[in-house]
């Protein structure tokens, strides 16, 4: 598999958009600058420390009020009285008749006692809540909030004038980002599942580079490898634990992630590359023998049903499950399943290849499963290989 592989036609068209990246990105940056310019005077005018301190002092005053102290005292009074009563009874050894007589005589007294204490506590609580509500209404924090003039914020958002072509421009930029990741030998899910910070940083790299190059690939590699920290890998592991997979499958996948965290990339790649097809079959409700060709076709259809870009399926078909017959066809950073299965290694697999293997597995696990057809529900099989 030569490194100068041909991109599919659907991606080649997207690459042409790359020349317009800087021009397309300017309006978005200008809108961000306008928001900052409009809201800066308001933010600078807001008081900070004095108001925060006065608000906290108001809350402290509430918790130390006589009403709250009264609730505490009544509660302690009831606990101490009950404990004292049972302590005075405990030393005696009474036979059944005496105990029954004692119980009858004291039951009414205890009920009356509980009713009186409960009534006093309820009345005190209602009075205390009224006092607390009154103190909250007069607190410095609420007075500060009421004093804020939000009209500059409202005017700022009214003046943004986000047109219909904004979403179109965003989609174009998103297509360019996915295409660039494909060119840099990253499974496009790397940015799709990340937060906007990583996406923005990738856009900045694209806008400051002159097309596809080794230098651009190294810059994007650094961003993605830096984003997927050990903490994020463990978060992926937690989401896999919460999936509907069988417990033994979760254990296998979890051990692959732990191998990645230890830097044992050959182990994580070898494990995950044998799990992808089984994960796809799980989403397709396939339990019997199924050809690789049909699996690829149905996987592409499943991606479409999930309203995702075809680039994910194209990357999987053209780089992951394609033939790799010699060591010279190995592409660094790509966990080719055929190459791994037949020990086609130029050198020890790198972290990029291992992370790509994890991203592919995570992508499959988070797909919505194929809706079962009526034939499946009637017990007829569609999985038999012709």
Domain around 221:
12-37+161-227
Domain-located, residue 206: yes
Q: Which of 95, 124, 147 delimits the end of a domain?
A: 147
Task: Give per-residue pLDDT as tens, 250-308.
Answer: 999 999 999 999 999 999 999 999 999 999 999 999 988 899 889 999 999 999 999 99
Task: Give per-residue pLDDT as tens, 111-131.
Answer: 665 566 556 666 666 666 666
Verify that 25 and 117 share a domain, yes or no. no
Say if CB 273 and CB 357 are below 8 A apart.
yes
Count of structural domains within the chain: 3
Verify that 223 and 243 share a domain, yes or no. no
Verify that 283 and 370 share a domain, yes or no. yes
Verify that 20 and 100 share a domain, yes or no. no
Verify that 107 and 32 share a domain, yes or no. no
Tens place of pLDDT per residue across the chain (386 aa): 544 445 555 555 555 555 555 565 566 666 666 666 665 655 565 554 444 444 445 545 555 555 556 555 655 655 665 555 555 544 444 444 544 555 555 565 556 655 665 566 666 666 666 666 666 666 676 667 667 766 666 666 566 555 556 667 767 777 888 889 999 999 999 988 888 888 889 989 988 888 888 999 999 999 999 999 999 999 999 999 999 999 999 999 999 999 999 999 999 999 999 999 999 999 999 988 899 889 999 999 999 999 999 999 999 999 999 988 899 999 999 999 999 999 999 999 999 999 999 999 999 999 999 987 544 443 334 444 44
Q: Which of 211, 227, 243 delimits the end of a domain?
A: 227
Verify that 223 and 261 share a domain, yes or no. no
Verify that 371 and 344 share a domain, yes or no. yes
119: CB partners within 8 A, 6+ apart: none
Q: Which of 207, 227, 247 delimits the end of a domain?
A: 227
Verify that 128 and 245 share a domain, yes or no. no
Sheet strands (E) in the chain = none
Q: Count CA atoms within 13 Å of residue 301 on its CB side.
A: 11
CA distance 360 to 368: 15
Verify that 85 and 136 share a domain, yes or no. yes
The pTM of this model reads 0.58
Domain-located, residue 189: yes
């Amino acid at each position: 598999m030569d490194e100068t592989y041909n991109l599919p036609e659907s991606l080649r068209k997207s690459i042409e958009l790359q020349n317009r990246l800087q021009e397309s990105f300017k309006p978005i940056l200008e809108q961000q600058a306008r928001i900052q310019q409009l809201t800066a005077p308001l933010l600078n005018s807001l008081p900070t420390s004095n108001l925060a301190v006065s608000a906290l002092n108001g809350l402290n005053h509430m918790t130390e009020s006589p009403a709250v102290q009264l609730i505490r005292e009544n509660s302690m009074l009831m606990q101490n009285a009950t404990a004292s009563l049972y302590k005075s009874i405990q030393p005696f050894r009474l036979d059944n008749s005496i105990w029954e007589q004692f119980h009858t005589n004291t039951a009414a007294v205890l009920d009356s006692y509980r009713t009186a204490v409960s009534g006093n506590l309820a009345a005190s609580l209602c009075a205390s809540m009224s006092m607390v509500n009154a103190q909250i209404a007069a607190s410095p924090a609420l007075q500060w909030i009421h004093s804020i003039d939000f009209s500059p914020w409202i005017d700022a958002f009214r003046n943004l004038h986000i047109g219909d072509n904004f979403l179109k421009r965003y989609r174009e930029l998103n297509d360019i980002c996915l295409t660039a990741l494909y060119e840099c030998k990253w499974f496009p899910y790397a940015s799709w599942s990340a937060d906007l910070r990583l996406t923005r940083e990738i856009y900045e790299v694209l806008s400051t580079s002159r097309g596809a190059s080794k230098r651009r690939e190294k810059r994007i590699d650094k961003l993605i490898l830096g984003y997927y920290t050990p903490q994020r890998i463990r978060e992926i592991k937690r989401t896999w634990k919460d999936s509907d997979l069988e417990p033994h499958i979760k254990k296998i996948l979890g051990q692959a992630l732990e191998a990645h965290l230890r830097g044992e990339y050959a182990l994580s790649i070898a494990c995950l590359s044998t799990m992808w097809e089984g994960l796809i079959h799980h989403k397709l409700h396939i339990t019997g023998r199924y050809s690789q060709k049909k699996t690829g076709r149905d996987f592409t259809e499943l991606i479409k049903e999930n309203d995702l870009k075809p680039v994910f399926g194209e990357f999987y078909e053209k780089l992951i499950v394609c033939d790799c017959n010699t060591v010279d066809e190995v592409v660094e950073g790509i966990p080719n399943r055929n190459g791994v299965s037949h020990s086609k290694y130029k050198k020890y697999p790198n972290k990029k290849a291992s992370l790509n293997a994890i991203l592919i597995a995570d992508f499959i696990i988070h797909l919505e499963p194929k809706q079962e057809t009526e034939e499946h529900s009637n017990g007829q099989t569609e999985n038999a290989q012709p």
